[in-house]
Structure 1
Amino acid sequence: MVSRVIPVEPADLVIIGGTGDLARRKILPALFRRFCAGQFGTESRVIGVSRTEMDGKEYRKLTAEAIAEFSEHEGCDMGRLDDFLEMLHYVTLDAKGTTGWKALAKLVKSERIKVFYFSVGPGLFGDLAERLHKYGMADEQCRIVVEKPFGRDLKSAKELNRVLAQHFDETQIYRIDHYLGKETVQNLMAVRFGNMLFEPLWNSQYVDHIQITVAEEVGVGTRGGYYDRSGAMRDMVQNHMMQLLCLIAMEPPAKFDPHAVRDEKLKVIRALDPVKPDNIVRGQYEGNGKRPGYRNQVENRDSTTETFVAIKAHVSNWRWAGTPFYLRTGKRLKERASEIAVVFKDAPHSIFDEDAGRHRNILTIKLQPNEGIELGVTIKEPGPGGMRLVDVPLDMTFAEVLGPDDADFPDAYERLIMDVIRGNQTLFMRGDEVEAAWAWTDPVIEVWRDSRELPIAYATGSSGPDDALMLMHRDGRRWREIKA
């Protein structure tokens, strides 16, 4: 089976912050990969923009170095790199002033799609939006891509949405969350809504509980300044994990359409119960001699910022009443692994004796590092000695099932940037969705701030604080072991 690549129409892609870390690590390598795949050609242009003084030749050199360093996938014809570099342009620009804006307006083509990727801090979004409008680039063919954080609370998110709405229609704003670009996340919708096998069982009558885990081995590294102002709740739960919960819990949309899908996701967020204090655990990793603890990596050595969060959440609607959703995310854990586990209930009556053991079906959607879907089923253990049951996986690891040609999927940024050019907002967050997510997380953060309680210390390389284990054990459940 060979993946089908559908070309997009020629476009001007302007990377504002084009010399920054995100541009070098993700955006530029992603564009080169899509160029190699034939999804767009030399009729399109990539325009790097930043306040750094350089010319086009220097920017092409920076891009070549970034692709060599950060393009991890095989399959790219490096012989095409020179062709890709010929598409690149560069403009020195002052986001808050007037320098470079006339040159940029003259360079972009008014008759074609123009994508402005705001690869900068949210504090500049308003200035950029105002100047794109002032210099005549914010026309109907214009689309803007904004990176998280989409504010740091409900008040700032509303203000950010208000500022962007002054110059752009909601259909022109693409709030990007790279988790939604993962192949497995999209396959989740295909599994749910494309298979009669699962959808009738996707409710509280048959599902005991759902676990969502996003575990990281790394610490905060060089992001200490940003992370200490945000913490795991703002950095991961409010956006990435909220989106995964929505896709798992939402009702079937009337059709696979951006508005229909995002309407159903919004309903899930609004149906979430407020989190009770005893249904949440926050932690902070300690050093172990070889690796520094969190407080040794940030300026504030008395920091109370959480690097781990575990939550028991409830979606109060007819489909999920009584079925808990357990969310956990953290840094410096034992493995890097992200997965969603749908744990089905026991059979109403077992015909086997106690020696057969207790067995459950679990559907696991693996997001990283190895994307795939696994369904655990119960069978008889081979051999004599009676009816002994054992759980075995029906495994669909994409690299094994589809073969090397199809397993080399576009990464999240590749897919999402192409969706922006197509004008497909299905995998992007809408303004009211962002605000609803903040409305749910803000009260939790406010309780932490007012109580001044310290996060629970946990060891580097562990599964997190023991209190997070008790969050499950008191309900007669247990977290799945973190494993890659």
Structure 2
Amino acid sequence: MGSSGWCIEKRVSIKNDSIADRRSFEGLESGCLSIIVLGASGDLAKKKTFPALFNLYRQGFLCPSEVHIFGYARTKISDDELRERIRGYLLHGKDKSDIPEDVSEFLQLVKYVSGSYDSKEGFLLLDQKIAEHEFFKKSHEGTSRRLFYLALPPSVYPSVCKMIKQYSMNKSDLGGWTRIVVEKPFGKDLESAEHLSTQLGELFDEPQIYRIDHYLGKELVQNLLVLRFANRFFLPLWNRDNIANIQIVFREDFGTEGRGGYFDEYGIIRDIIQNHLLQVLCLVAVEKPVSLKPEHIRDEKVKVLRSVLPIRDEDVVLGQYEGYTDDPTVPDNSKTPTFATVILHIHNERWEGVPFILKAGKALNSRKAEIRVQFKDVPGDIYKCQKQGRNEFVIRLQPREAMYMKLTVKQPGLEMQTVQSELDLSYGQRYQGTTIPEAYERLILDTIRGDQQHFVRRDELKVAWEIFTPLLHRIDKGEMPVIPYKPGSRGPEAADELLAKAGYVQTHGYIWIPPTLTA
């Protein structure tokens, strides 16, 4: 293999497991690669995009002989000023014993171009800088690769994409490519999402557009299809005959904290449920695709979404934590929900009658994201243990990634008593010494490889908005009650009542305790 697939330079900081990871990606294309981060001076770029690029560089996926990174924003700063702004974020949370040299090497690959997002001068200058890099790397026309990462508000996507199309994209289709990564939110409802999709679709083909939902890059989310379709004992259980209900939960133990103005414009359903949790639902509920090709997997996700029945008002509970409107950026009379429980029903042979409970909230009593598959009661319960709780399969997405099966066992001792316990796969214990990649690392690498499996396709986005837009419009008009709840609580009591009505049986007296790491 040549030097172009993954960088073969020997660097002290690259561990043996990283080398193995790189070899699994030998299919990476060769040629000059320019990564352009638009909105380079913003929080998203500093906290997520540049650190993800740095980690890919450290692991050898970005070879310095091929890659250059360009930051673009309106702020008038120099290359060195941008480097200093992002330096601290590259070091955050890392073992600093062997990083500083890598940081300096990486930062030398970063250059900065200042310009507006709606005029050609800045994008012509950007194109000139990229072309200089390609000329220096002896890139032939049509072999260069340009990845534009839009770490920007969606309102400027159309103008930015128009400028890229006219002035900054790869000049030839002969071997090279131009790809565009856009962040959510993709609109606020069906109409605005379709309008945005149409504007981008007039400029770029669908294979060039990568709509990023970082939940699809999470380790445990990427494990869902493997769990379901590579393990024999799940195949006969994963259906309406055995499963009583499925919860997909996102909980935060803090409020909006400086994002009140942004959050109030969107609310918890647009911010979390309509995208992140719905994407997880798709992978939990899909039928087996005919292959692992990205389009076959995305076809199955669209089929699931098209089978979702319209949301009924009685299947929704909304809440707002007390003190939310104390944020000076939030209107005093705001009715924006900071908590929502929504029950979806999938009308197909596998899932008819199984409630899918999507729940998200801020300022609650814990922080976690998980999938909870609750199975039906054991028929003919001779041990009289149903009151202790049902069997559950729980996938903890964050924090402390884990999978555990909650089951009933005999209490150790001379008496025949039953107790709830678990079979536990906690990643921190089982895979000690293995670093789980951040979602953005995985998704940026997928973009470079041209793998769209973990990105949202246009028709998928459209159907997702069709599901939630009627409900969102009723909320926006004030037609849905928003119940106040105390910060640090479980949320509105009505949400627990809705879960009970849907058939969820809460377990009392059992708490999953993550195992302690051993030395």
Same structural fold, with TM-score higher than 0.5 when normalized by the shorter chain: yes
Residue 390 (1) aligns with residue 419 (2): yes
| Residue 170 of structure 1, CA deviation | 0.4
What code does the residue aligned with 1:377 have?
L
- Paired position in structure 1 for 2:84: 61
Where 1:197 maps in the other structure, the secondary structure is helix
Where in structure 2 are the equivalents of 1:242-281 lying within 5 Å? 242-281=278-317
| Residue 454 of structure 1, CA deviation | 4.3
- Paired position in structure 1 for 2:346: 315
Note if contact 2:388-2:420 (Cα within 8 Å) is conserved in structure 1. Answer: no
Given candidates 238, 242, 245, the residue that maps to 1:209 is: 245
- Paired position in structure 2 for 1:44: 67
Note if contact 1:344-1:361 (Cα within 8 Å) is conserved in structure 2. Answer: yes
Where in structure 2 are the equivalents of 1:74-473 lying within 5 Å? 77-108=99-130, 109=134, 111-135=143-167, 137=169, 140=173, 141-287=177-323, 293-352=324-383, 354=384, 357-386=387-416, 388-404=417-433, 406=434, 408-473=435-500
Larger relative contact order (Cα-Cα within 8 Å, sequence gap ≥ 6): 1
| Residue 127 of structure 1, CA deviation | 1.0
Moved more, 446-455 or 54-63: 446-455
Q: Residues 307 and 319 (structure 1 numbering): CA distance in 2 closer, same or farther, change over 3 Å?
A: same
Distance 2:477 2:385 in 1: 51
RMSD: 2.0
Distance 1:46 1:375 in 2: 44
Give CA-to-partner distance per residue, 1:331-380, whole Å, 9 cap, x none. Answer: 0011111100111112222233x368554321111011111111122221
Distance 1:480 1:304 in 2: 33
Q: Residues 75 and 465 (structure 1 numbering): CA distance in 2 closer, same or farther, change over 3 Å?
A: farther
Distance 1:356 1:151 in 2: 45
Note if contact 1:221-1:297 (Cα within 8 Å) is conserved in structure 2. Answer: no
Distance 1:71 1:18 in 2: 21
| Residue 451 of structure 1, CA deviation | 4.3
Note if contact 1:295-1:303 (Cα within 8 Å) is conserved in structure 2. Answer: no
Note if contact 2:335-2:478 (Cα within 8 Å) is conserved in structure 1. Answer: no
Q: Residues 205 and 297 (structure 1 numbering): CA distance in 2 closer, same or farther, change over 3 Å?
A: farther
- Paired position in structure 2 for 1:5: 21
Note if contact 1:284-1:458 (Cα within 8 Å) is conserved in structure 2. Answer: yes
Distance 1:356 1:214 in 2: 27
Q: Residues 361 and 480 (structure 1 numbering): CA distance in 2 closer, same or farther, change over 3 Å?
A: closer
Identical columns (%): 37
Q: Tell me the TM-score normalised to structure 2 length.
A: 0.87
Distance 2:385 2:169 in 1: 71
Unaligned stretches of 5+ residues in structure 2: 1-15, 135-141, 515-519
| Residue 476 of structure 1, CA deviation | 4.4
Q: Residues 135 and 256 (structure 1 numbering): CA distance in 2 closer, same or farther, change over 3 Å?
A: same
Given candidates 44, 61, 68, the residue that maps to 1:22 is: 44
Where 2:258 maps in the other structure, the secondary structure is helix
Distance 1:53 1:349 in 2: 73
What code does the residue aligned with 2:213 have?
D
Q: Residues 76 and 326 (structure 1 numbering): CA distance in 2 closer, same or farther, change over 3 Å?
A: farther
What code does the residue aligned with 2:411 have?
E
Distance 2:478 2:117 in 1: 39
What code does the residue aligned with 2:157 have?
F
Distance 2:330 2:386 in 1: 55
Distance 1:207 1:463 in 2: 24
Give CA-to-partner distance per residue, 1:86-144, whole Å, 9 cap, x none. Answer: 11111112111123211211222452221100111111111111111111515540000
Q: Residues 324 and 73 (structure 1 numbering): CA distance in 2 closer, same or farther, change over 3 Å?
A: farther
Q: Tell me the TM-score normalised to structure 1 length.
A: 0.93
Distance 2:258 2:286 in 1: 36
Unaligned stretches of 5+ residues in structure 1: 288-292
Note if contact 2:315-2:342 (Cα within 8 Å) is conserved in structure 1. Answer: yes
Distance 1:56 1:355 in 2: 66
Moved more, 57-66 or 372-381: 57-66
Distance 1:355 1:36 in 2: 52
| Residue 154 of structure 1, CA deviation | 0.5
Q: Residues 356 and 415 (structure 1 numbering): CA distance in 2 closer, same or farther, change over 3 Å?
A: closer
Note if contact 1:219-1:294 (Cα within 8 Å) is conserved in structure 2. Answer: no
Distance 1:75 1:186 in 2: 31
